[in-house]
């Protein structure tokens, strides 16, 4: 059945991705009606997350952000499908790397770079856009999918512009060996960690939140600067990719300063474009008292 599902996906999704984005956004508008109006996909989760995160906002303001979020979510789904066939030139046009010179200066330091990122706007496009910059080899960490056919397809698609995809469980062995190239290691920093994970507690969006410490740990191990990379939406289908240094000398930082700084920076950009974050995730399922 896994193979059958994979073949059906290829038959429909791949030809679909070759349609112009102008047409694909019509499907996004329809998908919004289905997910938000008809099904109410994780609507209770989204509403509760927004209410808890923005207690200062009225219910009308919360609902306004909620609607924009579902529009953004549907666009993200469609744009991710488009990524299966998008060309380099179109990706560069739609995802302007406005901080590319700053990024190149980080690369020229002669060190590896730790990229911190969040589920913010089209982070998939953002990851691919960094890969098009050839001053560093981007290493993407991922959790393998249970379906081996989908897993092979997704990792191949994410590496088609030159990224090196490594399962998260293998990264320790990878960095413990002599590294012959200068790498930029990409880590998603806003997922909800497991109880047994190495984590740090802080206040994030008005809530006690468990945060992965992986960015900080690898920055210290490799003595590498930490850069937060994020796309800001300009208009539908167009983004500006930005890079913000979080810590340039990890060896001199106090414990958890990097983790705290990356979390506060993520919160600051969420407050700028609140509809851009992945509110349908059960981000706060791990409670401090547990």
Question: Where is 88: in which H helix or E strand?
Answer: helix 88-94
State the pLDDT at residue 196: 60
pLDDT band at 62 (very low <50, low <70, confident <90, very high): very high
Q: For residue 129, count other CB atoms closer than 10 A to its CB.
A: 23
Nearest to 250 by CA among 226, 230, 272, 275: 226
Q: Please answer whether residues 237 and 79 qualify as being in contact, where contact means their C-beta atoms are separated by less than 8 angstroms.
A: yes
Q: What is the mean pLDDT of residues 267-277?
A: 98
pLDDT band at 58 (very low <50, low <70, confident <90, very high): very high
Task: List, for residues 83-128, the tens digit of each pLDDT value.
Answer: 999 999 999 999 999 999 889 888 887 789 999 999 999 999 999 9
Nearest to 134 by CA among 201, 183, 180: 183
State the pLDDT at residue 290: 62
Pinpoint the alpha helices (H) of 239-289. Answer: 257-272
Task: Count the helices and strands in the chain (H runs, E runs).
Answer: 11, 9
pLDDT above 90 for 155 = no
As a whole-number percent, the residues of the chain with pLDDT over 90 amount to 66
Handedness of CA 122, 143, 110, 222 (dihedral sign): positive
Q: What is the largest CA-CA distance in the chain?
A: 55
pLDDT above 70 for 1 = no
Which tokens hold the place of 210?
A: 């468990």
pLDDT band at 148 (very low <50, low <70, confident <90, very high): confident
Handedness of CA 255, 100, 240, 22 (dihedral sign): negative
């Amino acid at each position: 059945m896994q193979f059958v599902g994979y073949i059906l996906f290829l038959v429909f999704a791949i030809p679909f991705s070759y349609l112009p984005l102008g047409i694909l956004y019509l499907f996004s508008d329809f998908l919004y009606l289905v997910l938000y109006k008809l099904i109410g996909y994780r609507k209770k989760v989204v509403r509760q997350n927004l209410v808890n995160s923005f207690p200062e906002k009225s219910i009308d303001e919360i609902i306004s952000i909620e609607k924009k979020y579902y529009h953004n979510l549907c666009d993200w789904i469609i744009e991710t499908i488009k990524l299966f066939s998008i060309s380099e030139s179109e990706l560069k046009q739609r995802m302007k790397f406005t901080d590319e010179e700053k990024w190149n200066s980080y690369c020229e330091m002669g060190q590896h770079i730790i990229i911190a990122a969040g589920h913010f706007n089209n982070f998939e496009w953002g990851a691919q856009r960094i890969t098009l910059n050839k001053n560093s080899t981007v290493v993407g960490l991922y959790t393998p999918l249970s379906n081996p056919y989908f897993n092979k397809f997704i990792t191949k698609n994410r590496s088609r512009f030159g990224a090196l995809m490594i399962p998260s469980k293998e990264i320790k062995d990878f960095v413990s060996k002599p590294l012959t190239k200068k790498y930029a290691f990409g880590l998603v920093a806003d997922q909800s960690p497991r109880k047994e994970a190495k984590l740090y507690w802080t206040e994030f969006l008005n809530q006690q939140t468990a945060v992965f410490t992986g960015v900080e740990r690898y920055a210290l191990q490799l003595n590498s600067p930490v850069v937060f990379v994020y796309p800001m939406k300009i208009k539908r289908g167009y983004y500006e990719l930005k890079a913000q240094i979080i810590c340039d000398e990890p060896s001199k930082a106090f414990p958890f300063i990097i983790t705290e700084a990356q979390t506060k920076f993520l919160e600051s950009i969420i407050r700028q474009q609140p509809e851009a974050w992945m509110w349908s995730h059960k981000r706060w399922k791990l409670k401090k008292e547990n």
